[in-house]
Chain A
Amino acid sequence: MFKKIRQSFSVAGYNFRQWRRNPRIIITFLLAFILCFLLSDKAVAFAEEHQTTMQIVEAFIWTFGDSNSILLSSLLLILLFSDMPFLSSGTPFYLMRINRRIWVMGQAIYIFLATGIYLLFILISTSLVCMTNSFTANMWSKTAAILGYSGEGQAIALPALVKTLEMSHPYQCMASIFFLMLLYALVLIFLMLFFNIWKGQAAGVISVFAFSIYGFLLNPENLQSLFRLPDELAYKARVWVGWLSPLNQATYHMHNFGYDNLPRLWQTYAIGGTLLLLLMLLSLWAIRRYSFHFRGTEGGA
């Protein structure tokens, strides 16, 4: 058992060694940094305009409390994992020593860790780009109060809701958003892994786009304006969409904090965990029939 776990980690470690001097990886992280700057610009500009300070993780909370920002940041993961199912010059040597299931388990560990590192980078980058006007104490800033209580947040499409402010503190809120994003990104990438192994590389990429478009279209505001729903029906649609759309499940303010019938945070974690487990099992099933092709050009940028 321990030997198998060690072998899985060895496969994951080998994948991480491919990161060294890899232009694709460096570009992904640099683009993620730029994305954080572009997405957090609204919050920082708002604070500058009102000459108020911000809590250091508030920019992350306001930026990634929005479903569109989560969608954009997760799409960059396609570039990070574009070499999926990670066939490299070392793969044949691994496959001679371990079985396919252990190899897939190693890839799963790599995906877990790489996605975690990527999201941690997003969190740190967002904090870095607004650090010149920030403090670190675990309390909401004046900027947050203005955004939440004056309704100005809605006007500039920043999801600074009163319920977010009143139900938690910045670091707890940040942790919840981080785990929701992590769960969404992992489901997305495991879906890509499964389709990659089952139907090929193109199917993997198409599945990611289909999943993202499904989440993007199931947006309560879009549905309300498209079907011109009255307020009562719009509320019901919002609750349905909150449960059905994976992107809304990953959005912090689309959760039940005692006011409505939206999913609670633990319910989202349970649904996400179940989906991950299911996709992992499906990948283990699909790898049995996967035919490995080595052209001798693996790992080239």
Chain B
Amino acid sequence: MLKTNMRSIFNSRIFWASCFVMPVILLLSQIDGLVDLYRKGEVQTWDFYFQFQLKGLADSTMVFLAPILCALPYTAGFEEDIRSGMIKAILPRTTRFRYLAGKVLACGLSGGLVLVIGILLNMFLCLPVLSPMLRGMEQDISIWPSLLQLFQSALLLFASGFFWAAFGMLMATLTGSWYVAYSAPFICYYLLIIFYERYFPYLLILYPKSWLAPGTEWFLGAFGVLFWVAELAAIVFMLFILAGGRRLERV
């Protein structure tokens, strides 16, 4: 089931459109910095190229964009199957558990992959824009720390994207609404930010911004965040199997 779902995700226009939206918006959000760079005309190293990517990912635009983009490709997938009646053709060919597990895993993967593919496209798009400046000699500067940091950011974004997309599917299943499928990740994400920033500053564990850029307060740093988000995703997975199972009883 997972394979079939992933194939339909990779064939959907919304998935690829969401992937392309991310680099375009990231580039637009950094346009002022780019114009400044071109005006100064300073020669930069490849380390700067990776730092530029990291700066874009840490920007508030990305914080705002991530829960919207990861919900777009497949959060309403289960609802669509039920509303279109497609479910009646699928269920005789598989078990309920395999169907539901395939759905939620594909949804999570699509949410994570949108962000990771978006990062790769952003790197690709930035190359011709920044390459005229990247003529500096590396000498004592190693690009590996920046590259590793970028890899870590991509991994954290993937984990967050996975969780929020699966959460969107769970909420859509509980409420039976398309509106909820697309908006629940964004709304819940920002409600958690509001609770942390305005009322409960000690609840760092529920602060989604820190899931994207964990500071020193997190136990085990980025690994701690990955464990925590994976734990939350597992809870969402189980809740979806229960909620989806109940929903299928009425089909």
Binding site for B on A (CB under 8 A): 23-24, 27, 30-31, 33-34, 37-38, 44, 129-130, 132, 301
Contacts and interface: CB of A to CB of B under 8 A. Distances in A.
Q: Is the interface of A mostly helix, strand, loop or mixed?
A: helix
Given A132-B199, A301-B177, A301-B178, A27 B194 contact: no
B179 interface: yes
Given A33-B191, A34-B191, 7 more contacts: A23-B177, A23-B179, A24-B177, A30-B183, A34-B186, A34-B187, A38-B190
A27 B179 contact: yes
A130 to B, nearest CB: 8
A27 to B, nearest CB: 5
Contact of B183 (A27, A33, A129, A130): A27
A156 B186 CA distance: 27
9 closest Cβ pairs, A-B complex: A23-B177, A34-B190, A301-B177, A30-B187, A23-B179, A37-B194, A23-B180, A27-B183, A23-B175
Nearest to B181: A23
B179 A30 contact: no
Given A129-B198, A132-B198, A132-B199, A37 B190 contact: yes
Contacts of A33: 191, 194
Contacts of A301: 176-179
Contact of A31 (B176, B180, B183, B198): B183
Nearest to A301: B177
5 contacts: A23-B175, A34-B194, A37-B198, A132-B198, A301-B176
Contacts of A34: 186-187, 190-191, 194
B224 to A, nearest CB: 27
A301 B183 CA distance: 13
A300 B199 CA distance: 36
A80 to B, nearest CB: 12
B179 A24 contact: yes
Interface string B176-219: 11111001001100110110001100000000000000000000
Interface residues of B, number: 15
Interface of B: 175-180, 183, 186-187, 190-191, 193-194, 198-199
B199 A27 contact: no
B107 to A, nearest CB: 19
A83 B199 CA distance: 35
Nearest to A82: B179
Contacts of A38: 190
A230 B140 CA distance: 53
A37 B198 CA distance: 9
Contacts of A31: 183, 187
Nearest to B193: A37
B190 A27 contact: no
A34 B183 CA distance: 12
B146 to A, nearest CB: 30
Contacts of A44: 198
Contacts of B177: 23-24, 301
Given A37-B198, A132-B198, A27 B191 contact: no
B192 to A, nearest CB: 11
A44 B194 CA distance: 12
Contacts of B198: 37, 44, 129-130, 132
Contacts of A24: 177, 179
A271 B232 CA distance: 54
Contacts of B187: 27, 30-31, 34
A243 to B, nearest CB: 34
A37 B199 CA distance: 12
A37 B178 CA distance: 25
B244 to A, nearest CB: 18
A4 B19 CA distance: 55
A21 to B, nearest CB: 9
B124 to A, nearest CB: 31
A147 B177 CA distance: 44
Nearest to A130: B198
B217 to A, nearest CB: 19
A123 B194 CA distance: 17
Contacts of A23: 175, 177, 179-180
